[in-house]
Structure 1
Amino acid sequence: MNSGLSAAELTLLGLLVEQPRHGYELEGVINERGMREWTEIGFSSIYYLLTKLRERGLITQTDASQPGSGKGRKVYAATAEGRRACAIAAEEAIAELHPLFPRVLVGLANQPAIDHGRLLDALGRRSDALAERIEHVRRAASEEQHVPEFVRAIFDHTLSQLSAEQVWLAQYRASLDDAHLPGRETPMAPYDVKREQKELYAPKNRAWAIVDVPEQQFIGIDGTGNPNTSPAYAGAVEALYTVAYTLKFAGKRTTGADFVVAPLEGLWWSDQPDAFVTRAKDAWNWTMLISMPSRITKEMIEDAKQTALAKKKLPEISRLRHLTLHEGPSAQVLHIGPYDDETLVLDELHHTYLDANGLRPTGRHHEIYLNQPRKTAPEKLKTILRQPVEHLVQ
Structure 2
Amino acid sequence: MDRSLTAAELTLLGLLVEQPRHGYELEEVISERGMREWTEIGFSSIYYLLNRLRERGLITPTDPTRAAGGKTRKVYTATPEGHRECAAAAEEAIAELHPVFPRILVGLANVPAIDRERLLSALDRRSRALAERVEHVRRAATADRDAPDFVRAIFDHALGQLSAEATWLADYRASLDTPPHDRKGAARMTPYDVKREHKGLYAPKNTTWAIVDVPEQQFIAIDGAGDPNTSPAYADAVSALYAVAYTLKFAAKRTDAGDFVVAPLEGLWWADRPEVFTTRAKDSWNWTMLIAMPPWVTKKMIEDAKEAALAKKKLPTISEVRHLTLHEGPSAQVLHIGPYDDEGPVLHELHHTYFEANALRHGGLHHEIYLSDPRKTAPEKMKTVLRQPVEPVDR
In structure 2, distance between residues paired with 1:345 and 1:273: 14
- In the TM superposition, what whole-angstrom CA distance separates every residue of 1:156-195 from its partner, at most 9, and x where no partner exists? xxxxxxxxxxxxxxxxxxxxxxx99xxxx72221000001
1:273, CA displacement in angstroms?
Answer: 3.0
Query: 1 CA distance for matches of 2:390 and 2:378?
Result: 32
1:301 counterpart residue number: 302
2:361 maps to which residue? 360
User: What's the counterpart of residue 208 of structure 1?
Assistant: 209
Task: Report matched runs for 1:37-116 at 5 Å.
Answer: none
Query: Where does residue 228 of structure 1 map in the other structure?
Result: 229
Whole-angstrom CA distance in 2 between matches of 1:255 and 1:231: 38
Note if contact 2:257-2:296 (Cα within 8 Å) is conserved in structure 1. no
Amino acid at match of 1:357: N
Residue aligning to 1:372: 373
Q: Give, in whole Å, the separation in 2 of the partners of 1:273 and 1:212.
A: 24
SS of the residue 1:253 aligns to: coil
* Alpha-carbon distance between aligned partners in 2 of 1:358 and 1:290, rounded to the nearest angstrom: 32
Distance 2:248 2:342 in 1: 35
Q: Tell me the residue number matched to 1:274.
A: 275
Q: What does the per-residue CA deviation read over 1:127-181, in whole Å, with 9 as the maximum and x for residues that have no partner?
A: xxxxxxxxxxxxxxxxxxxxxxxxxxxxxxxxxxxxxxxxxxxxxxxxxxxx99x
Corresponding residue for residue 246 of structure 2: 245
For residues 72-104 of structure 1, what are the alpha-carbon distances to aligned partners after superposition, in whole Å with 9 as ceiling and x for unaligned? xxxxxxxxxxxxxxxxxxxxxxxxxxxxxxxxx
Partner residue in 1 for 2:258: 257
Looking at structure 2, the residues matched to 310 and 267 of structure 1 have their Cα atoms a distance apart, in angstroms, of 28
Which amino acid letter does the alignment assign opposite residue 226 of structure 1? D
SS at match of 2:195: helix
> For residue 202 of structure 2, what is the amino acid of its counterpart?
Y
Q: How big is each residue's C-alpha offset from its partner over 1:36-73, in whole Å with a ceiling of 9 and x where there is no partner? A: xxxxxxxxxxxxxxxxxxxxxxxxxxxxxxxxxxxxxx
User: Following the alignment from structure 1 to structure 2, what is the Cα–Cα distance between the partners of residues 338 and 382?
Assistant: 8
Is residue 317 from structure 1 mapped to residue 318 from structure 2 by the alignment? yes
TM-score w.r.t. structure 1 length? Answer: 0.53
1:289 is aligned to 290
Matched residue, 1:336: 337
Question: Equivalent residue of 1:189, what SS?
Answer: coil
Partner residue, 1:218 = 219
- What is the CA distance between 1:294 and its match in structure 2? 0.4
Q: Deviations over 1:108-128 (max 9, x none)?
A: xxxxxxxxxxxxxxxxxxxxx
Q: CA deviation at 1:244?
A: 0.4
Structure 1 residue 362 displacement after superposition: 1.0
Deviation per CA, 1:341-384: give whole Å up to 9, x if none: 00000000000001100111110000000011111110011000
CA distance in 1, matches of 2:221, 2:257: 25
Deviation at residue 256 of structure 1 after TM alignment: 6.3
Name stretches of at least 5 consecutive residues in structure 1 with no aligned partner.
1-178
Structure 1: distance between partners of 2:323 and 2:374: 26
Deviation of residue 278 (structure 1)?
1.5
Give 4+ residue runs of structure 1 displaced > 6 Å after superposition: none
Partner SS state of residue 291, structure 1? strand
Q: Which moved more, 1:208-217 or 1:256-265?
A: 256-265
User: Deviation at 1:254?
Assistant: 3.3
The amino acid across from 1:376 in the alignment is T
TM-aligned CA deviation for residue 208 of structure 1 = 0.2
TM-score, structure 2 normalization: 0.52
Aligned residues: 212
- Structure 2: which 5+ runs fail to align? 1-183
Amino acid aligned to 2:362: P
Counterpart CA distance in 2 for 1:205 and 1:272 is 28
Alpha-carbon separation, structure 2, partners of 1:393 and 1:353:
16
